[in-house]
Amino acid sequence: MCGIAGKLFFDSSRKVAPGLLARMNRVLAHRGPDDSGIFHDGPVGLAHRRLSIIDLSQAGHQPMSNAAGTLWITYNGEIYNFQELRSELERDGVVFRSKTDTEVILALYERYGIECVQRLRGMFAFAIWDGRTRTLFLARDRLGKKPLHYYWDAEKFLFASEPKGILQDPQVPAEPDFPSIHHYLTFGYVPSPHSAFRGFRKLPPAHYLVVQDGQVQVERYWRLRYEPKVHLSEKELCDELLARLREAVRLRMISDVPLGAFLSGGIDSSTVVALMSEVSSGPVKTFSIGFEEQEYNELRFARMVAERYRTDHHEFIVKPDALAILPDLVWHYNEPYADSSAIPTYYLAKMTREHVTVALNGDAGDENFAGYERYLAARLAARYDRLPGVLRKSLERVVAALPEAGHVRGLYRRGKRFLAAASKEPKRRYAQWVCTFSGVWKEELYEPAFREAMACFDSDDLLLQAYESAGTTDFLDATLGVDVATYLPDDLLVKVDIASMAHSLEARSPLVDHLFMEFAASIPSALKLRGRTKKYLFKQAVRDLLPAAVIDRPKMGFGVPLDRWFRRELRDLAYDILLSRRSLERGLFREDMVRLLLDEHRDGRANWHFQIWSLLILELWFQRFIDFCDRSIGSEEVMVTCRSGRT
């Protein structure tokens, strides 16, 4: 796993400064502490930070060239079928100088050009400079495991694994992109291809980008399809599912450094650990996070799996003082990012890195097999739609008049949220279920000028476009496709990539294997959500692998007790930051509405912890990346500058 960056001037007479490439490398050092390198030739320069996983020798040094020196690559990721591809190329006469997957990508590009991405199975983000055609070629893996950000204007093009790499160029402005911030307030993350920085973009998953003669062209090369469906018996489907997942796990255990697994106690990570144990020569090292608040704590379920497979198990308890890492989180996530499970994920990665360099996880199980409550809610809503209109309207009026849930978690809050969106058509109803700040909330929260400026940007449209691209009339399949295209790459995979790379840890996700996901997509949706049973087929497939208590328990998610923390330990922090002069003078949010959120939550009249957390993270992002001009300082220095009030 690595960090990559680079710059290209469109004017061939200009030269990229080696000092800039060195700064880009330095700010990405956490992504690759083992080695660094730069390549520069007139108007082009590439930079690389290396975390050594395969072929630990200097033969894997990057940027890497072909034998003729006409192609140069900087690459981040792992290609799990690289040995098979290497053998094919060797049979055709290609001679390799290393044992790395990097050199295989370069050889594939030399032979197939941009079509090389079709041959790759794994997670990747890379850039290849083709000196023969004066072309810069960038590509990102199908599901978006590895990030790739870029910026261009009339003179230049820059890219990096993280925006802070691009910001090392003093010619690049550090300015907010307000439509993207508007979308962030809806989803809790900035959706691709948007960026929180004006002029920046994210290369979406399953896309490549070509820069030539000052022109930038972006193309999609793969899409997950939910049709046609496979026609097998339930037993045959279970057998095939396990066989494919076993292969995906086995491929991700190839490593020249120690590896282990995140073990949450949920069905997905537990299955990965079970399959790892089948092929591991010794006890699998497993790592779990818990909380003092028992309703958020899954450790006992993780221990069941650890004991069953006799893993080398490690645990860590997250406490309210965990928020001391807030400056680190803001610095590493680069953009506003409001998924509070980043906190335990960050600590989990930190603990795991003390023992191993690679960790497998269970990401994408819910998106593959319908594991979220909202999928069941969508099915119930379809039945609700068949009730007489008069009855529905009466019920919705009654529910709307009920007070917000204060300390209450669970059915009450979910029921109120369900019925609040019940009158909408199914796609917009789903959009409201997954939002943090709805359109109605924004109308009240935004200052008039900001509200007027954002009036033409509808965040729901982003999800509606994803529905249109799903390519299926089955609403559950289409909704799974929406989450695979949005929530999975822009929230979940970002969370794990940033948290793990902050500690120089490589995270691998067998359930994100694109061939496994293609098979999962071909399974009829009725076998994923059967009655009220979510992930039905997946649970049937792993019955013999896991304790029944792990399979059949209610889903908890990787929640954080922010609701309590904002009433106790973090209450003053939230008030001080969100009602500060600096925050209010941005002209985005009405002071009375921000105070209302804080007061109602503090007093237990409502539960606004998601909203408060989103605003808090946004303000801290403004302070770190927009207010302060020193772009290369680390998070510890940020705390000093925040306290001093320097701008």
Query: Among 2, 116, 238, 435, which one carries the catalytic annotation?
Result: 2
Q: Using CA atoms, how far apart are residues 541 and 90, in angstroms rounded to an integer?
A: 39
Q: Write down the residue that tokens 């799990």 correspond to.
A: 80
User: In 3D, which of 149, 169, 147 has the Cα closest to residue 159?
Assistant: 149
Please give the order of strands across the beta sheet that includes 259-262.
312-318, 285-291, 259-262, 358-360, 506-508
Q: Quick one: three-class SS letters along 58-72? A: HHHCCCEECCCCCEE
CB 495 within 8 Å of CB 340: no
User: In 3D, which of 296, 297, 290, 268 has the Cα closest to residue 360?
Assistant: 268
Query: CA of 81: how far to CAs of 122, 279, 508, in Å?
Result: 8, 18, 14
Q: Using CA atoms, how far apart are residues 100 and 226, in angstroms rounded to an integer?
A: 34
Tell me how long the chain is.
Answer: 647
Residue 229 DSSP class: P
User: Does residue 262 sit in helix, strand or coil?
Assistant: strand
CB 368 within 8 Å of CB 520: yes
The string over 292-320, giving b where at least 16 C-beta atoms fall within 10 Å of a residue's C-beta and e elsewhere, is ebeebbbbebbbbbbebbebebbbeebeb
Helices (H) then strands (E): counts for the chain = 30, 17
How much helix, strand and coil, in percent to the nearest 5, is found in the chain? 50, 15, 35
The string over 34-51, giving b where at least 16 C-beta atoms fall within 10 Å of a residue's C-beta and e elsewhere, is ebbbbbbeebbbbbbbbb
Tokens of 149: 């950000």
Q: Position 486: which residue type?
A: T
CB 539 within 8 Å of CB 548: no
- Does the annotation count 116 as an active-site position? no
Complete DSSP assignment for 501-570: HTTT-EEE-GGG-HHHHHHHHTS-GGGTSBTTBTTHHHHHHTTTTS-HHHHHSPP--S---HHHHTTTTT
Q: Write down the residue that tokens 């490549």 correspond to.
A: 208
Point out the residues that are catalytic.
2
